[in-house]
Structure 1
């Protein structure tokens, strides 16, 4: 049995992507945990922008122990000006004890995102999250063109990872297939590395 952590920041389609990635890992026989990153926005901004924080109230907040438990990790954040959201960066900045102890060294990691516009920074957001993996000595698991949906989807992902065009309310069929493929691939790589 392989342990897969699906970690995200956000409230809308990023949550849906996280759940589909977890399903893909479970199809490969993995035990999964879905965890969210603590909200760091000021309460007045949450009110002003009508951010639906209640959408994730049943999902536990991530701890450093969740990352140590995991044999493979999927990390997702919506795009913020072509970068990961501040909440995700704040959490990743707090992982120095794991870096110091080498707790994540050699573990596979993969990334996913969503943005409101087609050219809103899907790939750059994944790249900004991936820099942490280099410092930890993790193994970055990409999708390549492993399934045909990656080549034909205009919104659902790329060789970098699963994504969603946030202007659409729900994930489409290609986006679901790509996200599940990503979870399955992460679990497969984690199994190979453990054997």
Structure 2
């Protein structure tokens, strides 16, 4: 069974989603399974071509790649807001020993 790598991203204008899809291709070429999920924005009208990430996605993955645009040297507020919801699984230790990486666009 191949490793499952969660590729999660927030993208307002499309640059980061394009990177996420390239990251997923690389994961597949390495023999793992990529699962692409978006982080919902504050603008509920903004459509995404991938399902929204859930805490279960984070708990169940073997590794993750996280993407966000850079705004004033930080991740997008929408991405930060998502990470702020993860304390319940963090406290249970469900994020321990997961390989992780980041990608960004500015």
What TM-score does the superposition give when structure 2 sets the normalisation length? 0.92
Which aligned segments of 4 or more residues in structure 1 are displaced greater than 2 angstroms?
Answer: none
Aligned partner (choices 51, 72, 77) of residue 81 of structure 1: 72
Query: In the aligned structure 2, how far is the partner of 1:109 from the partner of 1:98?
Result: 16
1:101 maps to what in 2? 92
State the SS of the aligned residue for 2:6: strand
- 1:82 shift after superposition: 1.0
State the SS of the aligned residue for 2:7: strand
Aligned partner (choices 45, 54, 67) of residue 58 of structure 2: 67
Query: In the aligned structure 2, how far is the partner of 1:39 from the partner of 1:23?
Result: 24
Q: State the Cα deviation string for residues 107-150 of structure 1 (Å, max 9, x = none).
A: 111001001xxxxxxxxxxxxxxxxxxxxxxxxxxxxxxxxxxx
State the SS of the aligned residue for 1:21: helix
Structure 1 gap segments, 5+ residues each = 47-52, 116-195
Say how many residue pairs are matched.
104
- 1:38 shift after superposition: 1.1
Structure 2 gap segments, 5+ residues each = none
Greater relative contact order (CA < 8 Å, ≥ 6 in sequence): 2
What TM-score does the superposition give when structure 1 sets the normalisation length? 0.51
- 1:29 shift after superposition: 1.1
Query: In the aligned structure 2, how far is the partner of 1:15 from the partner of 1:85?
Result: 14
2:7 maps to what in 1? 6
Query: In the aligned structure 2, how far is the partner of 1:22 from the partner of 1:70?
Result: 14
Q: Which has the higher helix share?
A: 1
State the SS of the aligned residue for 2:53: coil
